[in-house]
A and B are shown apart, each in its own frame.
Chain A
């Protein structure tokens, strides 16, 4: 069966420090991968998605970047964190389009980032 792991679960960082959140998927190949940010009362905002190794698309201009160095690894980064980067970040995967099931997302446990 497929599993998704995301870490760290919580992170407290000072303003201006770098960030690296990691997400890995097991039990499937060539998944679509996503980074969302969840804010209270605002649902889930899509930040980045990837359809393959090295292929990253950004949905919202911001202080963050994403990379996909391996098929089942997705990393969210920042060189210098801002206070506004605080939030709850969710990694998710879905089957690649063309399979029988599309659009259904499988989420990680989330990472709570607090920037001080």
Chain B
């Protein structure tokens, strides 16, 4: 069965520190990969996505992620975090199956706290 793991449950950083959140998935075929973010009191929204092509994808607010197929990883990075990046981050994987349903599996989430 497909699964998604995230390396850290809770990360605490100071402003301007660099961020890397790990994500690994278990699925041997073609996948689409996503990072979603949930800011306090707000709904889940897409941060970035990988479907094909350049494995380094850029998202909103200076975030980027790199798809490494050989490692089944899709780590999220940001060179310099801000207090406003405090949120919960979810990695997700979708394996297109050619059927009428696209199943999206989420990781357990990483809570990021940025200290001013």
Interface residues of A (CB under 8 A from B): 32, 34, 36, 41-44, 46, 49, 51-52, 57, 90, 92, 94, 96-97, 101-110
Contact = CB atoms under 8 A, between A and B. Distances in A.
B96 A105 contact: no
A101 B34 CA distance: 12
Interface in B77-116: 90, 92, 94, 96, 98-109
Contacts of B45: 107
B3 to A, nearest CB: 10
Interface of B: 4, 9, 32, 34, 36, 43-46, 49, 51, 90, 92, 94, 96, 98-109
Contacts, number: 67
Given A43-B106, A43-B109, A109-B43, A103 B96 contact: yes
Nearest to A39: B108
A51 B100 contact: yes
Most chain A CB inside 10 Å of its own CB: which residue of B36, B90, B102: B102
A108 B102 contact: no
14 contacts: A32-B101, A32-B102, A46-B103, A46-B104, A52-B100, A96-B100, A97-B102, A102-B102, A103-B34, A103-B94, A104-B46, A105-B34, A105-B92, A107-B44
